[in-house]
Amino acid sequence: MTNPDQSKWDARYRETDGTPCAAQVLTDNLHLLPASGAALDLACGLGGNALLLAEQGLSVEAWDISPVAIEKLAAQAKGLSIHTHVVDIATESLPPSQFDIIVVSYFLERSLAPALIEALKPNGLLFYQTFNQNQLGRGPANPAWRLQDNELLRLFAPLSIRYYREDGLAGEGHGLADEALLVAQKRAP
């Protein structure tokens, strides 16, 4: 039986062509990446983040619920260290202390925050970008899939913040008024 979320995302990715873009939180903070290591692009979609991470020398796991997205990413990833997997993260668990880098963009499952923290190696970095409650015509309409003010800071409070941006409605809605961006690091024991 097909998962309804999988069917929805498969339909969306069938209609999408072109080169995927990496999240701004990653492109603006490439200088924080290690020269090598293991990375996870969680809910990777067409894999813009995975492609960029692999181009930077990282070995990347790219997970998504959509076989269509994973197939398209695998076709683009030829010659790069990207290992694609169809994964329903709601039913799978993240391995502990496995990744130097985890990137999550435009996916929000609050209950995964502790597992994401646990999946980072000591000194590992989490790059996270998704929509906040300021609905400006993009992203999910359901407020349950949107962050409250400073919610990323609360969800990942055990980590050390390296970068945070949430413009809100300051500046009359210019900039990233409807998104929050976070880079946080797991402390070494």
pLDDT at 82 (0 to 100): 97
**H or E stretch covering 48:** helix 48-55
Question: Is the pLDDT assigned to residue 104 strictly greater than 70?
Answer: yes
The residue extents of the domains of the chain are 4-9+23-134+146-160
| For the ranges 4-13, 116-125, 165-174, the one whose mean pLDDT is highest | 116-125
Q: How far apart are CA 87 and CA 61, in angstroms?
A: 11
Q: Average of pLDDT values for 175-185? A: 85
**What average pLDDT does the chain have?**
89
The architecture CATH gives domain 4-9+23-134+146-160: 3-Layer(aba) Sandwich (3.40)
The pTM of this model reads 0.90
Contacts of 94 (CB under 8 A, 6+ apart): 40, 112, 115, 116, 118, 119
Higher-confidence position of 64 and 5: 64
